[in-house]
Structure 1
Amino acid sequence: MDEKEKQPITWSCPVEQLDKSKIVLAHGGGGTLMHQLIKNVFENAFKNPLLQQHHDSAFIDVQGVKLAFTTDSFVVKPIFFPGGDIGKLAVCGTVNDLAMAGACPLYMSAGFILEEGLQIGILQKIVQTMKREADHAGVYIVTGDTKVINNSSGDGLYINTSGIGIVKQDPPPCPSQIQPGDCILINGDIGRHGLAVLNAREEIHFDPELESDCMSLVPAVLSLLNLGIPVHCLRDCTRGGLSSALNELAEESGLSFYIREEDIPIRDDVRGACEILGLNPLYVANEGRFIAFVPKQYVSEVLQIWQDLYPDLTPKQIGVVSENKGTPVILQNTIGIELALPMLSGEQLPRIC
């Protein structure tokens, strides 16, 4: 056998390999890569007890008053989409993070990164949307900042908002409060926001047109807290969708969640669009949907409160909490087979918020 024949066989893989030394779009997608980035880079550098609460907001005690503090950035493309725009997202996203902490929003900041050449009229329209949504949420925008970047360095407009509010429940809703036997509720149908943004970006022309579910969740949360209903945990189903929200909380609580697929509210037009596009609606982003963990005896009351607030929505119980079974989220599909429901891996729809 000659030397050429002795050489080992080598194989080439046509699948693109991830360069782990660089940021990719999936690092902002709400899935596994984003959580690894947060843990390995940001938590590793900024480690402190408040950050390690792993909540949408930080809980801060100031002279006996418990405050929730949060921040969020918005880079949605395009900045206008069916059912909303980047301004509506910027306000709703931040007040919703405060609501998920069981807080009543009070004040917000707004920072604008503007691209040279942006039409002043477009900016004014965005700002008026923010004013309208802030009024609706009962929050004041009290400080801000503006920066301008060179033409073609961005997509017209980016916004950062921060917010502060007073926590209305003690202890506040958080993953450590989740208990076996808790029921998992969702306030409405899922998947519309991500598809609405994709529709506007790619000009798919769904018929009928899908609109984003973007809205303030403050009324839906405060309506429970003001009645003294014990809410153990809340989480909005934004990037990474319902599945990523469930996996985050299962991991942080150390418990397992049992979900029935047939109980998850998904509109027929959303399901059909996802089938055509090869998307899983459980991973598609929402901007007006959240899950709540409450004791079983309060389920009917909570669902009725939400139905009265939003007659057009379909709030449902989608699952229950159990002791740790070794699998964070277990999904019983529509034919009765139980499957592991993993966190989003990669990126389904970039730049949706």
Structure 2
Amino acid sequence: MSKFSADELLDEVYGRTGADDERVVVGPGPGEDAAGVQVGDETLVVSTDPISMAADRIGQLAVTIVTNTVAAAGGDPRYLTSTVLLPEHDTDLLGEVVGQIDETASDLDQSVVAGHSESVVGLDRPLVSMTALGRADSFVPTSGAEPGDDVVLTKAAGIEATGVLATDYREHLDGVDDDTVERARAFFDDVSIIPDAAAVRSHANAMHDPTEGGVLAGLVDLALAADVTIDVARDDVPVREETRALCEAAGVDPLRVLCSGGLLAAVPSDESDAVLAACADAGIDAAVVGTVADGDAGVSLDGERFEAPPTDEVYELLE
């Protein structure tokens, strides 16, 4: 699984969005994973996302990841639609996936209001695509980072990848004890960033939920969308013990693997302490991991330049 490049999307997608509508506040564009549509005095935030990883938790992740995107745009996700595609006509598997969707949606106070399910010839694993909708007082874009901002990461790098490796890659994790793997599987329960975004959004110039390509790809998305440079030191990026252990065993970089569960936010430097305090009050770990400056768009990680998001190393493992 791989994304189309920014140039491919620019050439083939962004100019082909149907009828113009002045109520569209934010539409398709580089780095923007959610749309904003003005409805009265509020903004309707909408996002859609497919998932085919972590087959054992696919319904749970599908709900969590798409609601994360709405939350990262400043919205309060509330309504969902689902499309469930299965490799064969397996009623038990359908019930399992939809049961996960139902349980996770209930836990996150989301309502599934429409959907579609079918089996597809040639599909080799389940595929779930969800759409989430929610209201926002103010849309927070990916593209809003400004020179002088600090970049904050909530929780840690590689949270989703840690759960995926523990679930889909367990037989290859030589040297990792069973207790560590069990703790890693529990990381799926940390993937929601709805509380993180609620704590941060009133201070943020930009927010982004890093997914494929990890924290590094998320930072590059922020930088490219705002046409700024972001300076980051690897040692400043929090990585949990379980993530380090599993990534080392799998031979992948914790900063370049699936990172749903962490929220990136660009905030004025004089407000970063307030953001960290708000996260602490909500029981959420957070750290300043970088700074925003004028310069060529991209990320400097310990002096190494990145001007395009890296490929996710978990996808390379599981192909």
TM-score, reference length from structure 1: 0.77
Q: Is the contact made by 2:151 and 2:290 (CA closer than 8 Å) also made in structure 1? A: yes
- Comparing 201-210 with 243-252, which one deviates more in the overlay? 201-210
SS in structure 2 opposite 1:288? coil
Look up the match of 2:127: 158
* CA separation of 1:293 and 1:216: change in aligned 2, threshold 3 A: same
Look up the match of 1:330: 300
Q: Is the contact made by 1:243 and 1:343 (CA closer than 8 Å) also made in structure 2? A: no
1:119, distance to aligned residue in structure 2 (A): 4.8
* CA separation of 1:115 and 1:277: change in aligned 2, threshold 3 A: closer
Aligned equivalents of 2:158, 2:251: Cα separation in 1: 13
How many residue pairs get aligned? The number is: 302
Aligned equivalents of 2:163, 2:109: Cα separation in 1: 27
C-alpha offsets along residues 268-295 of structure 1, whole Å, 9 cap, x if unaligned? Answer: 3423433343322111111211101112
1:264, distance to aligned residue in structure 2 (A): 0.5
1:41, distance to aligned residue in structure 2 (A): 2.5
Look up the match of 1:233: 206
Look up the match of 2:100: 129
Look up the match of 1:339: 304
Percent of aligned positions with the same letter in both sequences?
Answer: 22
Aligned equivalents of 1:192, 1:239: Cα separation in 2: 12
Look up the match of 1:140: 111
Look up the match of 1:348: 313
Among 266, 277, 280, which residue is 1:293 paired with? 266
Q: Does 1:281 align with 2:250?
A: no
Q: Does 1:115 align with 2:115?
A: no
Among 34, 49, 57, which residue is 1:57 paired with? 34
* CA separation of 1:279 and 1:344: change in aligned 2, threshold 3 A: farther
Q: Does 1:190 align with 2:157?
A: yes
1:344, distance to aligned residue in structure 2 (A): 4.0
TM-score, reference length from structure 2: 0.85
What's the RMSD between the two structures over aligned residues? Answer: 2.5
Q: Is the contact made by 2:77 and 2:110 (CA closer than 8 Å) also made in structure 1? A: yes
Q: Which runs of 5+ in 1 are unaligned?
A: 1-24, 333-337
* CA separation of 1:347 and 1:286: change in aligned 2, threshold 3 A: closer
Aligned equivalents of 1:193, 1:62: Cα separation in 2: 33
Q: Name which one, 1 or 2, has greater alpha-carbon Rg.
A: 1
1:167, distance to aligned residue in structure 2 (A): 1.4
Q: Which runs of 5+ in 2 are unaligned?
A: 21-25
Q: Is the contact made by 1:105 and 1:137 (CA closer than 8 Å) also made in structure 2? A: no
**Structure 2 counterpart of 1:40, one-letter code:** D
Aligned equivalents of 2:207, 2:123: Cα separation in 1: 34
**Structure 1 counterpart of 2:99, one-letter code:** Q
Look up the match of 1:39: 10
Look up the match of 1:17: none
C-alpha offsets along residues 17-49 of structure 1, whole Å, 9 cap, x if unaligned? Answer: xxxxxxxx4x33xxxx54343233322543867
Q: Is the contact made by 1:327 and 1:340 (CA closer than 8 Å) also made in structure 2? A: no
Among 76, 83, 92, which residue is 2:64 paired with? 92
1:301, distance to aligned residue in structure 2 (A): 2.4
